[in-house]
Amino acid sequence: MKLSEMGEFRFLKKIMRILDENELGKFDDAIAIKVNENYLVLNIDTLVRRTDIPPGMTPHQIGNKVVVMATSDIIVKGATPNFFVASITIPKEEDVEYLEEIEYGIKNSCSKYGIKFFGGDLNDGLDLMISGVSVGFTKKIIPRKGAKIGDSVWTTGYFGETGAGLHYLLKGGIKTRNIDGILKKVFEPSLPFTDGKILLEIANSSIDSSDGLSISLHQLSSINNVKIVLEEIPIAENVINYASVNEIDPIIFALYGGEEFEIIFTTSHKDEDVIETFKSYGYKPPHKIGKVSEGRGVEYRGERVEESGWEHFSEQKNTV
Amino acid sequence: MKLSEMGEFRFLKKIMRILDENELGKFDDAIAIKVNENYLVLNIDTLVRRTDIPPGMTPHQIGNKVVVMATSDIIVKGATPNFFVASITIPKEEDVEYLEEIEYGIKNSCSKYGIKFFGGDLNDGLDLMISGVSVGFTKKIIPRKGAKIGDSVWTTGYFGETGAGLHYLLKGGIKTRNIDGILKKVFEPSLPFTDGKILLEIANSSIDSSDGLSISLHQLSSINNVKIVLEEIPIAENVINYASVNEIDPIIFALYGGEEFEIIFTTSHKDEDVIETFKSYGYKPPHKIGKVSEGRGVEYRGERVEESGWEHFSEQKNTV
């Protein structure tokens, strides 16, 4: 059987039994080990030019994206990022300036988030590919499993811009006046905050949204054996107009776009407390999008939200 | 300018200034940070099918090689390996069994060295490529810089088999009766020991030999601003016969072959103490190959040993 027929998820399930268990179990993107009183949290994420780099992205932006991708998975655990290393594979026919710009992009992004950039490894290969490793520490881990019935569900940002942006870039969507704002989100993704520490104060469970809002909510639901009842789908302002001109339901972009690095968390704290905590850290206020209730799956206005998004290896088409 | 014209080493020197300094400086393959009383040592190493996987290597052997590559650079610092993660990029047309065998190879190798395998990341790409991250801890770091005039220089093994094996596989060398032994070293590289701790007792400086014996000795010489005087070149038994049949000086294979994961260290301890320490750990005795003296470069029997080997990106031909 070919990998494309099996899909990434089924393959990972298959080899799960040979993996050793870490403090986050075996199913998380990140891994954690106890080091004295703290946890070391590490994540490796690889960006492949052919699949992860949209046309028009500069090498500087590529460098930023790999830092954001790898670090998102550790701040969502509550960790304070500490350092970053990258292994870059690149065709040797590439210009020196191109690789240099990638390194500057990594460095700038690391500086922005207070992360030390220690370099890494360089290799010759057929396609540009960057494996980024982000390492941080935390006193406590916010797991994916921990949502309680009655918790409210929050996100750190609005969704849909990367979905709309990729639709424009890859599927020949009609240009709209706010396309620059939309593309900025595709080309220059950013983290909602530089330090996961804030989550230790409020979150019962958390997950990042890089696989798409729908898939991430479904994962939360399935891991916690609960139903997520969406009361509001947080659609980015820019998406409304683009979706209308292109005659696509904006909810589609928000739920199934992916490649957005917002944090989704559940909490039993009062709404005012959550908002106040974010304010005290100087972060933008998060958005309450729903509730954790008994049952399974994800619901919006009485209807089941499809579990769909972008999966490596799968032949299945993305909804967008 | 293209990367192939500049070469990896010159590029790395160019971007060195943007890197943050870690406990190993900026020039080491591994990186280290202080965590309470200990050091965390981490290394990322990437294996690319097109350049790092000789024809005939099984997927199980590929899995082993990536563990050995990444871990070699941390045990040479004196670290006790703790865990390993891998990011695998592979064409989705590949068979599931092939990828599964790679994962088993990683797992088996980790088990052999007492390393926990926590999984990692999976991506679709044009060529098989595995970034392995090995993490360990140590109370003290054995640096590359630390060799003292008068130190003796030791290696944990004999050299030349991978050079001869790659010559046979890639350059059509004549088959000899001991070819299986030679190829075993190419296909199933191993670490000299499972724990770098022994080095803390005896070594003033150390480096692994994965870039080739000559290049590694030159690096030690240059970092420490000393001359390495070789008294003996430790040639593996199997290489003598292969080299003679193929009419190549066996020293060429031993000095310039590369891809051998032995440890080279300098020590001011007496020879008996070094041997005794290795014995007390149950490890094979190391080989004394020379002395650290004043000057620069590497010398063997009064002649300068060329600084040559395999460098990614460089157009320069390997000596072998």
CA distance B158 to B179: 16
Residue B87 Cα distances to B64, B95, B128, B130, B235, angstroms: 14, 18, 11, 6, 35
pLDDT surpassing 50 at residue B311: no
What kind of architecture, by CATH, is found in domain B152-304? Alpha-Beta Complex (3.90)
What token pair was written down for A107?
């460095």
What are the counts of helices (DSSP H) followed by strands (DSSP E) for chain B?
12, 12
- pLDDT bin (cut points 50, 70, 90) of residue B316 is very low
- Identity of the residue in A8, A22, A131 whose CB atom sits nearest the CB atom of B46: A131
CA distance B313 to B290: 31
Whether A117 sits inside 8 A of B15 (CB atoms) is no
- Identity of the residue in A50, A119, A313 whose CB atom sits nearest the CB atom of B26: A119
Q: Do domains B3-138 and B152-304 have the same CATH topology?
A: no
What token pair was written down for A69?
């991708």
- Which chain B residue is nearest to residue A99, measuring alpha carbons? B3
Task: Report the gap between the CA of A135 and the closest CA in chain B (Å).
Answer: 10
Exposure of B90 by Cβ count < 10 A (0-12 exposed, 13-18 middle, 19+ buried)?
buried
Whether A14 sits inside 8 A of B131 (CB atoms) is no
Taking every pair of Cα atoms in chain B, the longest distance, rounded to a whole number of angstroms, is 57
- Identity of the residue in B103, B118, B122 whose CB atom sits nearest the CB atom of A31: B118
Q: pLDDT of B36-95, one tens digit each? A: 999 999 999 999 998 889 999 999 999 999 999 999 999 999 999 999 999 999 999 999
Any idea which fold A3-138 has? 60s Ribosomal Protein L30; Chain: A; (3.30.1330)
CA angle A181, A69, A160 (to 5 degrees): 35
DSSP-derived 3-state class of residue A290: strand
Q: pLDDT tens digits for chain A (320 residues)?
A: 899 888 877 888 888 899 999 999 888 889 999 999 999 999 999 999 988 899 999 999 999 999 999 999 999 999 999 999 999 999 999 999 999 999 999 999 999 999 999 999 999 998 999 999 999 999 999 999 999 999 999 999 999 999 999 999 988 999 999 999 999 999 999 999 989 999 999 999 999 999 899 999 999 999 999 999 999 999 999 999 999 999 999 999 999 988 899 999 999 999 999 999 999 999 999 999 999 999 999 999 999 998 876 443 333 333 33
Most confident of A303-307, B16-20, B111-115, B308-312: B111-115
In sequence order, what E strands does A74-162 have?
80-90, 116-124, 129-138, 152-155
Residue A75 in contact with residue A136, Cβ under 8 Å? yes
What token pair was written down for A48?
């492949």
Chain B residues in contact with A104 (beta carbon < 8 A): 18
- Identity of the residue in B40, B91, B131 whose CB atom sits nearest the CB atom of A44: B131
In the sheet that holds A205-208, the strands lie side by side as A205-208, A263-267, A152-155, A287-293, A227-230, A297-300, A303-304
Please tell me the predicted confidence (pLDDT) of residue A313: 36
What average pLDDT does chain B have? Answer: 92
Please tell me the predicted confidence (pLDDT) of residue B39: 98
- Which chain B residue is nearest to residue A88, measuring alpha carbons? B46
What token pair was written down for B72?
């070699």
In sequence order, what are the residues at sequence separation of 6 or more whose Cβ sits closer than 8 angstroms to the Cβ of residue B35? A35, A36, A40, A137, B137
- Which chain A residue is nearest to residue B9, measuring alpha carbons? A122
- Annotated domain spans of chain B: 3-138, 152-304
User: What torsion, rounded to 10 degrees, do the Cα atoms A232, A233, A237, A239 define?
Assistant: -150
CA distance A263 to A73: 9
